[in-house]
Structure 1
Amino acid sequence: MTFGPHACTTPASFEAEWLLTDGIGGYATGTIAGLRTRRYHALLVTPARRVALAALDPVLVVPGAPPVRLATHEWGSGAIDPAGHRHLESFEIIDSVPRWRWRVGEYVLEREIAMTRGRNAVAVVHRLVAAPPGAQARLTLTALCTWRGADSERFCDGPDMVLDGTTVAGAYRLDGPGWKPLGEWYLDAYHREEAARGLNPIEDLWAAGTFEGTLRVGGDLTVTACSGDLETPLPPGPTVVDEARRRARRLVRQAGARDTADRLLVLAADQFIVTGGDAPDVIAGYPWFGSYLRDTMTAYEGLFLHTGRTAEGAALLRSHAALGVRMREETLRDADGPLWYVHAVERHVARTGDADLALELLPAVEGVVAAYTKGTRDGVSVDPLDGLLALDAQHAGLTWMNAVFPRGPVTPRDGKPVELNALWANALGAVAALRERCGRDASVVHARRDAVRAQFVKRFRAPDGWLYDIVDAGPAPYPKGGSGVHDDSVLRPNQLLAFSLPYAPAADETHLRDSVLRAVGAGLLTPLGLRTLAPGEYGYAGVHRGGVFPRDTAYHQGTVWPWWIGPYADVLCAAGRSVDALLHTVAAHLGECGLGSVSEIAEGDAPHRATGAPFSARSVAAVLHARAVIRQNCNLQGLEKKKLAREPRPRTRRNALR
């Protein structure tokens, strides 16, 4: 990915963000311009989500000219000073390593950043790549530091920042040539994205000291920062950069990536996978999300199976083998995540043919089904009258539509949500398939799944031409829903799971499926994914802006979620419809916001501005899955064409004469 001088100096350079991760939960992130627009932007954030090294401000001194400040900062006064981005001639991401080049006359200074894998450490390498013959330049780097939680700010009147040599706050160490302690405060640093989110946009930064050196063409000046193990020295900065590039190439080869978008998405998927604990885990999104069962399992197929990381995936699935027990003994605050776990196990076994894993995890998935049958501590239970899953009113905010205010959920899901029951029917089918693969009798599970499927189609078929979003719903917080128990036919994307999952309960209802596709395509489809509510429905919110209240209100009331591209592509493919044009805009989006990645959400109204977390695991996984579906669909079409070509042509009179 390459950006020229125009892209580096326009306001768009303040919005496009890069991300590096260390594989254990730490990260570095910022903008093309180098402007810190979020409280999360820093060169080193620890796995415990503590912001450490906020910035390294470069000043280049060339012979016969005044010093040139190459950093970019915005202040509470509204001033942007310095404005070093005006000297940027290019920004690139090459094999996952970001590279900046500033030009000052005949001098060109390059910066590359890389993180070590498995250790919370970053290397920032500066290299003089062009200068007049025999000339040299002086480079000074000011380390702007802090030590705070990633979701908060720090000010000069708070606890003192302590510097011991190059160790800051007793928590992280800086290393580099020509160190000179400083200890000054930079006041009122401004984060415009936090202001847009209705949060405090101001903080103070502590200039701990400076690094300094003289550079000739080809020479480098490297600064490293690390937390955790402060005694073990880091490899040289250029070595860290080279290893990061080699690892990126290995991942791309391992995944069999075919084009640029594939390569970018494979590397984006790697950013969410962490291996710091006993088993791999998934960060739901950067820069502010943690690890959650639902997000992990929804993204599992794309992150692990479509990138060739099946061994890591199997270890992750094994680590959740006690999920059924946990559902009965503790509150997970997750009504549908365990059903996605069953789906992930079945998809892994179906794709890899790993019979040993199937035998090992069969008790785990059966335990999940048993927990739902007996009733979970998250308020989910089986209705004995129809065998469908019901969610009680006290836990109505525990599905994937989980925006909750003190007064209750924004989009209550109490009753029998369509997505929960589609996943339930799919889980029963998955358990039956796994039992058969393990040589076990599956007739009882098949019978139960058939009964649930029949009840699902009967209960959820709505007169509007699509499926009810919830049946037996409680009193709704808006006029259309009525005041008592009712069936809600509001148009949302949740119903797609009834057709997209491998053991989907409505997969055989072709006329209903085609009707749903027409409704979804007309009312929910946007270039970046599916709206969570059709524009004509009551409560639709077409923008996702402002403070916490308006943003959470809009979160599932019209906001676009790219992760629904995956289920939508599955249904299109099942219907025999073309899916080739589905991902063109998403491919272009890879160079807009979270560079090389896919945003968490976008606004429902055109032009569908991306918002939320700029790097989302579910979104990246869904696009990887959709691209695999498209590729499989194209292959099937190609095989069909070859089959037709091989069939003998009918002998017409003209052919016979010829």
Structure 2
Amino acid sequence: MVDDDSLPALRFGPQVCGALDHPAGGGSREWLVADGTGGYATGTVAGLRTRRYHGLLVVAGPDGSRTMGLTALDAALTLSSGAEVKLATHEWESGAHAPAGHRYLERFELVGGLPRWRWRIGEVVLERELAMLHGSPSLAVVHRLVSAPSAVTLSLTALVAWRPADEIRRAGDPPRVTQVADGVTVEDAFRLAGPGWRSRGEWWQGAFLREEMARGLPATEDLWCAGGFTTTLAPGEVAEVSAWAGDLSRRPPRATVVLGVARRRARAVVAAAKPTDRTDALLALAADQFVVKGPDVIAGYPWHGTWTRDSMASYEGLFLGTGRAVEGAALLHRQAGKIAGRRVDDVLAPEEGVDGPLWFVHAVDRHVHATGDTHLASELLGTLDAVIAGYEGPEHTFRAEVDPADNLLAIGHADAAATWMNARRDGLPVTPRDGKPVELNALWVNALSAVARLRERCGADAADLWSRHDLAHRSFGKRFGAPTGWLYDVVDAPPGAYPLGGDEHHDDPVLRPNQLFAYALPYAPIDPAEPRAVRAVGAALLTSLGLRSLAPSEYGYRGSYGGPEPDRDEAYHQGTVWPHLIGAYVDACRSAGLPSTGLLTGLETHLEEWGLGSISEVADGDAPHQAGGCPFSARSVAELIRARARLSR
């Protein structure tokens, strides 16, 4: 457990580690180690489990599901005096913290993305470090006795499960645990190995999960104590525990070896990104967490999956901004196959939306622009043409249809929640955007230009595309300019679709950030020479952690994101801050010639505040903008990477 000065580190002392109830304390700051398959280990600095998702071995299935395996590995020391000191921390529905091992935490570190805890009991100092074997559901946990007057006994109690990661377990039929050499198997699904296993077998009832309560969800669960490992350690000695799924007969490398492999891989990830400072290095490691084998992109941890919109909108930052263009090209081929196989009668998941294919076009264009890879462009040209055709004609495969009168895209009432503002309550859209949404049409105009340019680059004819682009470009300029000085959020909205819409088709001038894409995209449909609209967006929506999804002065604004799911759905796009929007705002400011210095300071600082080394999915619209949603968000990280690169040019 030697420090590696070549890797970026985050460090916290006992005042943070020991604070369970402070919003910036060790009970609120979370860490994540991803295994490159969609599985992970995650928890809090203090060691307190606050979510149903917190565990040390969460295994990804081939269908994208995740299953909780090793819930916790509770450490305790028996000193030479015979006194036992428990180092784990649990909270119970009674309100008690027992044990309360966070009181002994001297330091927590995240070095190269790998967590390390250091407990001190007088002269006795114990460290724990963990890593996962990349590309495999395999966990390595190493304890080292750093100092002690004499040998101590280390006990590690294993709390196990085999349940869906987004569910909780109640006492009843316990997991099936079978003892094998140097450990056990659980449900024949995963295996634990370490020194001196002793079976136990009992329910610990009433564990309290405070973040679940805050989200209005069931907040207590029961934990199965399967047994534990016991060994004697002299100063300088280590104890290793491994946990893995898959082929249980094939033991992974020793835990200390896995740690070394993980450190070397972290150095390679950072080096490939060519960082200019510590923040660049942290962001490169953060981006790596979301890229999984396939390749594919996890939209956010601990509960989001893989979605076309998020993976393609994150592409430029996650891949081109971190030196992963070769891997990125493989992802684009993979996405092309998914898009080619999509049918008009496919069920449209809210997370996918009508704009995913347009973000795919954008990602291919940016890849070719950055790498000069015309061979890739030629290979994907058929899919790019199919995307454009998929929005035209009677089938409009992607659930948005070109209006032949102006060549702009319109979505109907059935898909009113099919943009990125996709929250529903009681089955109805919270933020209906049927009609012609501004960002969807900015992406459409951008895509027509991008495909035309790529066709020309590949030696193909693009005259028809340019003709359609020119019509859509002119129509956009005529239709979206609002008398307020900014752009309409939706034009040609159907009767009754919006709070102030009345009984006729109308244009909605509500002040939202969606219009930024009309200025920010590479082939933006609006000339930003007049910065009035961008100034209006910044004045009303800009915060230290990104942009609000609705101006506070607008009807329906919600300044707090939290509480039960219906309340969260109401607030999701009605004022909640989205960090990923900072990328479009930076682009719009640069295009409009507006100042952009200091726009990223709050988000760069946020790397040390909540999801450690990463950026949250959302935050409250009202100050101080408490973070919410997924603590680790792919698009938030990707757009901060891209925005930093944009500002450095």
TM-score bracket for this pair, using the shorter chain length: over 0.9
Q: Describe the SS at the equivalent of 1:13.
A: coil
1:326 is the counterpart of 2:342 = yes
Residue matched to 1:635: none
Aligned residue type for 2:12: F
1:194 is the counterpart of 2:207 = no
Residue matched to 1:648: none
1:44 is the counterpart of 2:63 = no
1:447 is the counterpart of 2:467 = yes
Residue matched to 1:340: 359
- 1:217 deviates by 1.5
- Equivalent residue runs for 1:1-20 within 5 Å: 1-11=10-20, 12-20=25-33
CA distance in 1 between partners of 2:595 and 2:172 (Å): 61
1:216 is the counterpart of 2:203 = no
Aligned residue type for 1:213: T
Q: Describe the SS at the equivalent of 2:60.
A: coil
**Which residue, out of 252, 262, 275, partners 1:234?**
252
Q: Deviations over 1:538-595 (max 9, x none)?
A: 0000001110100000000000000101111111111233323011111110001000
**Comparing both structures, which one devotes a greater share of its residues to helix?**
1
**Which residue, out of 621, 625, 647, partners 1:604?**
621
Residue matched to 2:380: 361
Aligned residue type for 1:435: R
Residue matched to 2:5: none
CA distance in 2 between partners of 1:191 and 1:348 (Å): 43
- 1:482 deviates by 2.4
- Equivalent residue runs for 1:391-402 within 5 Å: 391-402=411-422
Aligned residue type for 2:617: E
**Which residue, out of 35, 50, 53, partners 2:48?**
35
Residue matched to 2:4: none
CA distance in 1 between partners of 2:619 and 2:568 (Å): 11
Change (3 A) 1:243 1:526: same
- The answer to whether the 8 Å contact 1:378/1:395 transfers is no
Change (3 A) 1:478 1:426: closer
1:147 is the counterpart of 2:162 = yes
Q: Deviations over 1:409-464 (max 9, x none)?
A: 10011000001100000000100110111012222212211110100010000000
**Which residue, out of 511, 515, 525, partners 1:505?**
525
Change (3 A) 1:330 1:299: same
- 1:324 deviates by 4.3
CA distance in 1 between partners of 2:242 and 2:321 (Å): 34
Q: Describe the SS at the equivalent of 2:166.
A: coil
CA distance in 2 between partners of 1:479 and 1:24 (Å): 44
Residue matched to 1:288: 303
Q: Describe the SS at the equivalent of 2:116.
A: strand
When the two structures are superposed, what TM-score results if normalisation uses the length of structure 1? 0.93
Aligned residue type for 1:245: R
**Which residue, out of 486, 490, 500, partners 2:510?**
490
- 1:602 deviates by 0.2
- The answer to whether the 8 Å contact 1:122/1:224 transfers is yes
- 1:80 deviates by 0.8
Q: Deviations over 1:206-229 (max 9, x none)?
A: 111110111111110111111111
**Which residue, out of 405, 410, 424, partners 2:444?**
424
Aligned residue type for 1:304: F
CA distance in 1 between partners of 2:234 and 2:57 (Å): 28
CA distance in 2 between partners of 1:271 and 1:552 (Å): 27
- Residue ranges of structure 2 left out of the alignment (5+ in a row): 1-9
Aligned residue type for 2:171: C
Q: Describe the SS at the equivalent of 2:485.
A: coil
Q: Describe the SS at the equivalent of 2:335.
A: coil
**Which residue, out of 121, 131, 136, partners 2:138?**
121
1:564 is the counterpart of 2:577 = no
Q: Describe the SS at the equivalent of 1:414.
A: coil
Aligned residue type for 2:625: H
Aligned residue type for 2:367: H
- The answer to whether the 8 Å contact 2:528/2:588 transfers is no
Instruction: Work out which of the two has the higher radius of gyration on C-alpha atoms and give 1 or 2.
Output: 1
**Which residue, out of 525, 547, 561, partners 1:530?**
547
Instruction: Indicate the larger mover: 194-203 or 225-234.
Output: 225-234
Q: Percent identity over the alignment? A: 56
When the two structures are superposed, what TM-score results if normalisation uses the length of structure 2? 0.95
CA distance in 1 between partners of 2:542 and 2:241 (Å): 47
